[in-house]
Amino acid sequence: MPINYDDNIYEVVRNQERCVNCRVCERQCANLVHKYSAEYGCMVSDSMSCVDCQRCVTLCPTRALKIIKNPNSYRDNANWTEAAIKSVYKQAASGGVLLSSMGTPENYPVYWDKILINASQVTNPSIDPLREPMETRVALGKRPQETVRDENGRLTGTIKNALFLSVPIMFSAMSYGSISYNAHKSLALAAQKLGIFYNTGEGGLHKDFYPYGKNTIVQVASGRFGVFKDYLDAGAAIEIKMGQGAKPGIGGHLPGEKIGDEVSMTRMIPKGTDAISPAPHHDIYSIEDLRQLIFSLKEATDYTKPVIVKIAAVHNIAAIASGVARSGADIIAIDGFRGGTGAAPTRIRDNVGIPIELALASVDTRLREEGIRNDISLVVGGSVRNSADIVKAIALGADAVYVATGALLALGCHLCRSCHLGKCNWGIATQVPELVKRLNPETGSERLINLITAWKHEIEEMMGGMGINSIEALKGNRLMLRGIGLTNKELEILGIQHAGE
Amino acid sequence: MINTKREGEIRIPSGCAISGIINKDGTRIDGGRVAQSIAVMHDRSNGLGGGFAGYGIYPEYKDFYALHIFYNGQTVKEECEKFLEEHFEIINLSKIPIKRIPEITDVPLIWRYFVAPLPTKLADSQLDENEYVLRCTFSINTRIGGAYVFSSGKNMGVFKAVGFPEDVARFYKLDEYSGYSWVAHGRYPTNTPGWWGGAHPFSILDCSVVHNGEISSYDANRRFIEMYGYKCTLQTDTEVISYIFDYLLRRKKLTLTEASEVIAAPFWEKIDAMPEEDKRRLTYLRTTYPSLLITGPFSIIVGFDGGLMALNDRLKLRSMVIGEKNKTVYIASEECAIREIEPSLDKVWSPSGGEPVIVRLEEQK
């Protein structure tokens, strides 16, 4: 049938007057969009393969290129949108599950953008972070319940195995395999220099990165790829991945073509085989099983490391988090449904789960109602895009945030959402050696450091404006927030008042 | 008043004046003296709240909890007294003597009860005596509308009203009470509360707090402390600070100095450079009670059984001066308030931000 479901979404527009036929675009495009035509004596493009990653546009020395949305359109239909129609064509042709990458692009409410931050006026002075100390250090982990003293009356308690962060931001889990060696190295270098943490994701830890262990969170996911004693010992904390915001309820799938020698060795699976992590952990069918895994991991590491349990934000998140808090975990990480992924079934990514803002607010409230909020730390991710989102997350009740998409953007990602194709022109979501080497880890880490440093400055400015000089006094300080354009129910769940109240 | 929300339904920021006196040798002085001191700082309050706490004022009843209660009317008084009879042995009850003056209006019924928990009820509750009394006062304040317990310690009492502090002192005839220490407060709220319960000091058992400032950490502090059975019914800084002290001192058994190190913690920068022992203690305190750090401007005086403590926020965003003369220590927002009652001081100084000044009776040291 002549139905072309993958027709030109984007169109490459080349200004022939500017083009000097240098063929940079041709060399840069792993999707083979550009080529030199000897017949016409100029560059030609096949827009069909373009994913709009902007690599050619960025590198074109004469700025001769732009990528635009193809104005060709189906007949307008508010119900059967063009995307909906094309999905049917695709599946009718392939019989397959639709795949997507990165966080959902659908038009769901972004609650961060409907929350406003307070500032001091008259009754309370704002504080100038350039002149006064401004503290962003946080400690994550389980807090002692009882005051314990030695025979001389000195306090002997300590927060056990705390993770100290110079700023309440961590790079969240992205596995080696889903992203490149150089991307991992950029994250590791940056985490170390910033005094924060990055996360291995479920793909194990490459032997070259063991020296960064003090700034590494090692993940244990349902596939248990690359998990062994040395791996657990290498990290500063262990994260059990129960779920991921972009795809709650299912596991991961790294196609065999991405499993080369190094990935194979790190994941401890044969080269070229698909790495499929199961939907559940097959040793965790309920909360009491989770407790056993937490304590197995603690036993294995002599109780020297905090255990994080990462869960996807789903409908009953408050009750689940409360269960996790009582199961021996030191830190709960919640991943919202707008969070990124290297590959997920489109329907799941776009329809399953709930926004992180609501999940965070209801979990924080529930843990406080039960009087256990101070026993455990709360880290949230799933589309934290800038310093204002972070300030809002902390004021809603988070101890720290996880950032992944933002970190990838700093490394050059243009959110073309084609990670699952494995041909990332920016050297991030690919294992093709020629593409990987495009990302220089030194430069990459500098850009990450710049980003987090800039955010830190902005957080300090906003805190200072509120008259707060320690991030601890912002945590859960919901009076510093007001909603704008929200319903009573939304305000009730977020636990904030409306602007003007 | 009809169109505005009552204190507790809305958060009202306020500036203030504070003053305190303690005789370390236990000599008792009358409340008129501290009233004279706070009166000098008239312009720091705006007539919307004044109050006092005196320690050592009820020596004849020192083993009993002295409950001071405001009532809106006779009916609620009867309801509350029924509750008291069910939970306490009432040793003595009386109206608190007042003098009607034109400056103080809308006067509620003000009663005082000296009580002891009923032994059987106390045993059933499985609580210690203090916790039992605390829960009973919370019960009254949250469940019996129109009744409000504003003082519940032993051998101490709070006296407060809507008005300037010097008028409040005359109203309660404070020169007829004598105690070894006194604290006073004049309030400058940015909104009209018009409610007596909202005046300061705020007290919980024998711990009373007067405070000048507006803390920026309020909701972080409130949401933390409410996890442990406290209810911030007034939405004021002073209320939450009082609960924090009660939690840290009574429940967590921290010392006053340690509690100060939690609420006005040294900056990490300083902690990192400290000797190992201090570093360990402060890291423990900051990481264990991060949500009890208080930021924003404050100067407070905490009154407790046998002493007073003065503390500023860690940036010292509010003025506070200490003066000493022989065995007497004076604390005030402004030096003039001290000079007014003791012109020739042996020593006068301003404590630095976050530096607690703790004064105790000598016999208790």
pLDDT digits (tens, 9 = 90+) for A401-431: 999 999 999 999 999 999 999 999 999 999 9
| Tens-digit pLDDT profile for residues A260-283 | 999 999 999 999 999 999 999 999
Q: What is the mean pLDDT of residues B198-217?
A: 90
Average pLDDT over residues B336-353: 94
**Which of the following is catalytic: B16, B80, B136, B232?**
B16
Distance CA A145, CA B288 (A): 9
Radius of gyration of chain A (CA): 24
Q: Which domain holds residue B174?
A: 14-57+155-207+295-364
pLDDT, one tens digit per residue, over B251-271 is 999 999 999 999 999 999 999
In a domain, B342, yes or no: yes
User: Measured between CB atoms, which of A373, A374, A477 is closest to B219?
Assistant: A477
Whether the per-residue pLDDT at B195 is higher than 80: the answer is no
Does B2 score more than 60 pLDDT? no
Q: Is residue B214, in this structure, part of any structural domain at all?
A: no
Q: Check whether A314 has a pLDDT greater than 50.
A: yes
B5 in contact with chain A, both atoms CB, cutoff 8 A: no
* Burial tier of A117 (Cβ tally within 10 Å: 0-12, 13-18, 19+): middle
pLDDT tens digits, residue range A434-446?
A: 999 999 999 999 9
Task: Please state the rounded mean pLDDT for residues A294-308.
Answer: 97
| Interface membership of A487 toward B (CB under 8 Å) | no
Whether B313 is covered by a domain: the verdict is yes
B174's CB contacts (< 8 A; 6+ apart) are B30, B31, B32, B34, B35, B52, B54, B159
DSSP 8-state class, residue A204: -
Q: Which of B262, B276, B287, B317 to mutate to test the interface with A (most CBs of A within 10 A)?
A: B287
Which among A143, A368, A474 is the nearest to B288, CB-wise? A143
In this predicted structure, the answer to whether residue B3 has a pLDDT above a threshold of 70 is no
What angle separates helix B218-225 from helix B237-245, to the nearest 10 degrees? 50
Spatial separation of the C-alpha atoms in residues B55 and B22, rounded to whole Å: 9
pLDDT, greater one: B54 or B5: B54
pLDDT at A7: 65
Count of CB pairs separated by less than 8 Å, A with B: 111
Cα separation, A486 vs A492, in Å, equals 10
Q: Is the minimum CB–CB distance between A371 and chain B shorter than 8 Å?
A: yes
CB contact under 8 A, A473 and B295: yes
Strand partners for A254:
A275
Is there a contact between B149 and B62 (Cβ–Cβ < 8 Å)?
no
ipTM, 2 decimals? 0.91
- What percent of chain B has a predicted confidence (pLDDT) above 70? 94
Higher pLDDT, A141 or A3: A141
Contact between A359 and A334 (Cβ < 8 Å): yes
Q: Do A470 and B14 touch (CB under 8 A)?
A: no
Q: Which of B329, B339, B354 is nearest to B27 (CA)?
A: B329
Nearest of B258, B217, B263 to residue B244 by alpha carbon: B263
Contacting residues of A for B228, CB less than 8 Å apart:
371
CB-CB under 8 Å, A475 with B288: no
> Residues B79, B146: contact at Cβ < 8 Å?
no
Q: Is the dihedral of CA A174, A176, A179, A185 positive or negative?
A: positive
Rounded to an integer, the average pLDDT of B64-89 is 96
| Residue A477 to residue B288, Cβ atoms within 8 A | no
Contact between A137 and B297 using a beta-carbon 8 Å cutoff: no
Q: Under an 8 A CB cutoff, do A143 and B254 touch?
A: no
Give the torsion sign (CA, B292, B296, B301, B307). positive
Instruction: Tell me if B35 is assigned to some domain.
Output: yes
Two tokens at B63?
């083993």
Query: Residue A133: its chain B contacts at CB < 8 A?
Result: 267, 269
Res A4: pLDDT: 65
pLDDT at position A470 over 90 = yes
Domain count, chain B: 1
- Chain A residues with CB under 8 Å of B14 CB are 123
A468 contacts in B (CB within 8 Å)? 216-217, 295-296
List the structure tokens of A65: 């290129």
For residue B15, what pLDDT is reported? 61
Alpha carbons within 13 angstroms on the beta-carbon side of residue B307 total 13
Using CA atoms, how far apart are residues A380 and A476, in angstroms rounded to an integer? 13
- Measured in angstroms, the CA of B131 and the nearest CA of chain A are apart by 18
Contacts of A203 (CB under 8 A, 6+ apart): A175, A176, A177, A178, A225, A226, A254, A263, A266, A267, A275
CATH number at residue B47: 3.60.20.10
Rounded average pLDDT over A80-103:
92
The answer on pLDDT for A138 being more than 80 is yes
**Beta-sheet pairing, B50-55 with B181-189:** antiparallel
Tokens 């003056």, residue?
B101
Closest by CA to B92, choosing from B75, B111, B113, B78, is: B113
Which three-class secondary structure state does DSSP give residue A359? helix
Query: What is the pLDDT confidence band of residue B1, given thresholds at 50, 70 and 90?
Result: very low
When pLDDT is cut at 50, 70 and 90, the band that residue A125 belongs to is: confident
Mean pLDDT of all residues belonging to chain A = 95
Q: Which two tokens stand for residue B80?
A: 């509350």
Q: How far apart, in whole angstroms, are the C-alpha atoms of residue B155 and residue A157?
A: 35
Average pLDDT over residues A61-75: 93
- How many whole angstroms separate alpha carbon A295 and alpha carbon A292? 5
Interface check for B227 against chain A (CB to CB < 8 A): the answer is yes
Rg of chain B (C-alpha set): 19
Closest chain A residue to B250 measured between Cα atoms? Answer: A147
What is the pLDDT, as a whole number, of residue A40? 94
pLDDT of residue B365: 47
pLDDT (average), residues B45-65: 91
Three-state secondary structure along chain B? Answer: CCCCCCECCECCCEEEEEEEEEECCCCCEECHHHHHHHHCCHHHCCCCCEEEEEECCCHHHCCCEEEEEEECCHHHHHHHHHHHHHHEEEEEEEECCCCCCCCCCCCCEEEEEEEEECHHHHHHHCCCHHHHHHHHHHHHHHHCCCEEEEECCECEEEEEECCCHHHHHHHCCHHHCEECEEEEEEEEECCCCCCHHHCCCEEECCEEEEEEECCCCHHHHHHHHHHHCCCCCCCCHHHHHHHHHHHHHHHCCCCHHHHHHHHCCCCHHHHHCCCHHHHHHHHHHHHHCHHHCCCCCEEEEEEECCEEEEEECCCCCCCCEEEEECCEEEEECCHHHHHCCCCCCCEEECCCCCCCEEEECHHHC
Q: Do A158 and B13 touch (CB under 8 A)?
A: no
Binary contact (A162, B228; C-beta < 8 A): no
C-alpha–C-alpha distance, residues A274 and B16, integer Å: 69
Contact present, B22 and B332 (Cβ < 8 Å): no
Query: Would you place residue B8 in the very low, low, confident or very high pLDDT band (cuts 50, 70, 90)?
Result: low
Q: Considering only A159-173, A182-196, A351-365, which range has the smallest mean pLDDT?
A: A159-173
Rounded to a whole number of angstroms, the distance from the CA of B99 to the nearest CA of chain A is: 34
Q: What is the mean pLDDT of residues A135-142?
A: 95
Whether A144 and B285 lie within 8 Å, measured CB to CB = no
- Would you give the DSSP letter of residue A213? G
Task: Report the gap between the CA of B9 and the closest CA in chain A (Å).
Answer: 12
Whole-angstrom distance, CA of residue A396 vs CA of residue A380:
11
Higher-scoring residue by pLDDT: B17, A191: A191
Mean pLDDT of the A27-39 span: 96
Dist. CA B252–CA B239, nearest whole Å: 18
* A117 touches B at CB < 8 Å: no
Give the CATH fold of the A10-96 domain. Answer: Alpha-Beta Plaits (3.30.70)
Please identify among residues 240-259 of chain B the ones whose CB lies closer than 8 Å to any CB of chain A. Answer: 252-254, 258
Topology (CATH level 3) of domain A167-415: TIM Barrel (3.20.20)
Count CA atoms closer than 13 A to A429's CA, side-chain side. 29
Place of tokens 């129609």: A85
User: Nearest C-alpha of chain A: how many angstroms from B108?
Assistant: 30
Assign A124 a pLDDT band (cuts: 50, 70, 90).
Answer: confident
| CA dihedral of B317, B323, B328, B331, whole degrees rounded to 10 | -20
> Cβ of A124 and B294 within 8 Å?
no
* Number of residues in chain B: 365
Instruction: Decide if A414 contacts A159 (C-beta within 8 A).
Output: no
> Over 70: is that where the pLDDT of A80 sits?
yes
CB distance from A472 to chain B under 8 Å? yes
Listed range (A383-392, B41-50, B180-189) with the worst mean pLDDT: B41-50
Give A487's contacts (C-beta < 8 A, 6+ positions apart). none
Check A478 against B219: CB less than 8 A apart. yes
Mean pLDDT of chain B: 91
Dump the DSSP string for A81-99.
Answer: -HHHHHHHHHHHHH----E
Q: Looking at this protein, which amino acid is placed at residue B199?
A: A
Contact A374 B224 (CB under 8 A): yes
Contact present, A254 and A344 (Cβ < 8 Å): no
- Tokens 């040798």: give the residue: B25
Q: Does the pLDDT value for residue B188 go beyond 90?
A: no
Does residue B226 belong to the interface with chain A, where contact is any CB pair within 8 Å?
yes
Q: From the list B226, B268, B277, which residue is nearest A137 (CB)?
A: B268
Closest CB to A473 among B217, B254, B281? B217
Determine the pLDDT at residue B11. Answer: 63
Q: Is A446 on the interface with B (CB under 8 A)?
A: no
| In the predicted structure, residue A497 carries a pLDDT above the cut 90 | yes
pLDDT at B13 over 60: no
Element (DSSP H or E) covering residue A361: helix A356-369
| Domain-wise residue ranges, chain A | 10-96, 167-415
Per-residue model confidence (pLDDT) at position B194 = 63
Strands A331-335 vs A377-381: parallel, antiparallel or unpaired: parallel
Q: Are B359 and B307 in contact (CB under 8 A)?
A: yes
pLDDT at position A323 over 70: yes
B16 is catalytic: yes
The per-residue pLDDT for A184 is 97
Short-list A296, A171, A181, CA closest to A229: A296
Rounded Cα gap, residues B17 and B164, in angstroms: 11
Per-residue pLDDT reduced to its tens digit, A238-248: 999 999 999 99
How far is A370 from A55, CA to CA, in rounded Å?
Answer: 51
> Is the predicted pLDDT of residue B193 greater than 90, yes or no?
no
CB atoms inside a 10 Å sphere around CB A157: 18
At residue A6, the pLDDT reads 64
For range B168-172, the mean pLDDT: 96
Q: Which residues contact B68 (CB under 8 A, 6 or more apart)?
A: B96, B110, B111, B112, B149, B150, B151, B152, B157, B158, B159
Q: Give the closest of A123, A397, A469 to B190, CB-based.
A: A123
pLDDT of residue A172: 97
Q: How far is A19 from chain B (nearest CA, A)?
A: 56
How far is A342 from A362, CA to CA, in rounded Å? 28
Give SS3 for A287: helix
Q: How wide is the angle at C-alpha B117 spanned by C-alphas B113 and B119, nearest 5°?
A: 145
The answer to pTM > 0.90 is yes
Please check whether residue B353 is in contact with residue B264, taking contact to mean a CB–CB distance below 8 angstroms: yes
